[in-house]
Structure 1
């Protein structure tokens, strides 16, 4: 079978499914007991976040828990800048790093599929000709979305001008045969975002903003926040290249060097607006009166799109969980050993981590949304030990396990 034929066999056929299959639940505040949860147990969850802030494991955080469309807890902790007296508030905006892959890139890609601007089996090189180099001409949007393109994790080009950097990244050789494995790749999503911009004739911020964020009322979700709202933004870590603590700019150096709008990182948002996005997915693609993604596209987005790998073989450490385990389109999928969503979510759960210390998980069986945003900052160095240390400092698994522990029925 040729590579093109193999892609056609694997890429899902999506139709124009009616919106009658979706609900329009919107998030409203309420009591945990109204949706079968314990106030006391949720208070324990929040107290544990506060203890970590008190122990200076990270400067600040916001956390939100919702069930059946009811926000049962929304709290703020600590400070926006380490050592400052600027308290985090419920509307504090955080650098989401790789959560951008879901909130922007994957959602934008499916919105363009819905508009028939692209298809899941569209070759990336059709809109990004340099990408065809080194035998990559048949790699599709679908391959990229499910982290199975064959590209390496990254190819940093920090000392090149922007256009040269994009060319070098596009021409990067494959590390493994397309579709054979899973490898979480910033490079893959960076290039996918670039391709979507070429296909739509708009930058990624505009694509996501017009088709997803603004229809959902996500007015505090953006790339490159304007300087006049910097006081609302939580700072992350120190940048030796920029010579300052990063605040209001994406912390990742490669994405900052490319202008801050990429498919990999760069989105900023609040816990509430992330929860709105998650509720839209939980609803089947709609929220209130806004119809964002067709139900079939949402189902495709959150299902296991990587049957070529198994959790049993790949869920062997926290870093391997991120890099190698089964994936949705953009989403990480829950596994029972080393998921950053803990050990107690239901098997169909899906979520996403951001490298500076942000997390969102959706448990569809219990209809629970959990969002935990911190300004921990990117691990230094960003290696296995650094990743493990960040997860331990933040206690993301403890947070999500505690949320599930608060469920009575």
Structure 2
């Protein structure tokens, strides 16, 4: 069992984090940070063209370098077929970007606090997890997608949430833990349970107190309130719910479990995500607020799966997501099929959401981009569907275009 920090100490750290007021990223001209204005305009024009061609209803795109936001644009509509324009403060369903923005970061914060250790066994926090030879799996295994669990498992016909969690915890292994990478919603869904058990807080409460609130990410939340729904972009039509999904996580399993999960469920704006990206780029600190230690921030975006070779696993866009080397939550740049394109630096890192949302950071160039769309989950969600979503959204073109705008190298 983990060594727990007293609840009073954890509460004090939450209060301290909430008091500090972060400085915000500042607007700037592209040429002031070594970017070509015409090429930045070309990047935005290409996003606009895809919206105008009907490939997805709307988007917000943001580009920043060296602490300056050099472009922040909105395109299209919040709801397909309706005259409701996307604005810069539109919220999007981030799906798997939740893994970084909430779950992995929260886990590392708890490690800093002494509430959790990377080598703690998951079975000490999740009842039933030790079944089927899983007793030795650690928090570190989950953070880096090497826990041995399958990509996902769905129990949508089960009315009892506790039984669903039990069945997920007892899921058999897909492969021997630690021998390969397999990107997994199930792994991060259960990691969220570990975080909640260790901290005594639900994931939404913890992320707001220790990450989103201190960074000034006021529009970032699970389960947007009724007041936020008019600013939230709709994704796709849900056959199970019988309606277009808006302000609800599109993943059916996470919606059935209440919308707060370690793998999916966060909603945010491009501006909020920019603050998070700058914090990571700064080594865990943003303005006057330190979210992660410099060591933790560096570990998060470093290759935590060195036994896995990109040359052997970067074989298609889907295998890139599932099997290439990973950090703690983050995906790492590769040379073939990365949704961040092929021009980012070798040390770049990013994260995507299955409904068409992306962020990538090139630390060597002090550069990052955020592309949020309401494309919606691919239908069907298979290799061909995934390829079509990436081709429609054009994330690789977007990030390649940003790098192409760099003039000072």
Q: Fold conserved (TM > 0.5)?
A: yes
Q: Deviations over 1:364-404 (max 9, x none)?
A: 00000100000000000000000000000000000000000
Task: Quote how far apart the aligned CAs of 1:27 are.
Answer: 1.3
What is aligned with 1:8? none
CA distance in 2, matches of 1:280, 1:130: 37
What is aligned with 1:314? 313
Task: Quote how far apart the aligned CAs of 1:129 are.
Answer: 2.3
User: Superposed, which structure 2 residues align to 1:2-401 within 5 Å?
Assistant: 26-160=24-158, 161-401=160-400
Query: TM (normalized to structure 1)?
Result: 0.94
- Structure 2, unpaired ranges of 5+: 1-21
Task: Quote how far apart the aligned CAs of 1:116 are.
Answer: 0.7
CA distance in 2, matches of 1:26, 1:205: 23
What is aligned with 2:10? none
Tell me the C-alpha RMSD between the 2 structures. Answer: 0.8
CA distance in 1, matches of 2:232, 2:360: 22
CA distance in 1, matches of 2:314, 2:227: 43
Q: SS at the partner of 1:142?
A: helix
- Whether the 8 Å CA contact 1:25–1:279 is kept in 2: the answer is no
Q: SS at the partner of 2:72?
A: strand
- Whether the 8 Å CA contact 2:347–2:362 is kept in 1: the answer is yes
Task: Quote how far apart the aligned CAs of 1:101 are.
Answer: 0.3
CA distance in 1, matches of 2:46, 2:315: 27
- Whether the 8 Å CA contact 1:95–1:251 is kept in 2: the answer is yes
Q: Deviations over 1:130-162 (max 9, x none)?
A: 111111111000000000000010111111121
- Whether the 8 Å CA contact 1:305–1:329 is kept in 2: the answer is yes
Q: Deviations over 1:310-346 (max 9, x none)?
A: 0000001000000000000000000000000001000
Q: SS at the partner of 1:129?
A: coil
CA distance in 2, matches of 1:209, 1:159: 31
CA distance in 2, matches of 1:241, 1:171: 26
- Whether the 8 Å CA contact 2:23–2:288 is kept in 1: the answer is no
What is aligned with 2:4? none
- Whether the 8 Å CA contact 2:183–2:321 is kept in 1: the answer is yes
CA distance in 1, matches of 2:97, 2:339: 13
Q: SS at the partner of 1:99?
A: helix
Task: Quote how far apart the aligned CAs of 1:25 are.
Answer: 7.7
Structure 1 stretches of at least 4 aligned residues deviating more than 2 Å after TM superposition: none
* Equivalent residues, number: 386
Matched, 1:404 2:407: no
CA distance in 1, matches of 2:72, 2:228: 22
CA distance in 1, matches of 2:336, 2:23: 32
- Whether the 8 Å CA contact 2:127–2:166 is kept in 1: the answer is no
CA distance in 2, matches of 1:261, 1:220: 16
Query: TM (normalized to structure 2)?
Result: 0.94
What is aligned with 1:17? none
What is aligned with 1:5? none
- Whether the 8 Å CA contact 1:153–1:183 is kept in 2: the answer is yes
Task: Quote how far apart the aligned CAs of 1:308 are.
Answer: 1.6
CA distance in 2, matches of 1:326, 1:219: 32
- Whether the 8 Å CA contact 2:301–2:349 is kept in 1: the answer is yes
CA distance in 2, matches of 1:114, 1:26: 25
Q: SS at the partner of 1:62?
A: strand
What is aligned with 1:4? none
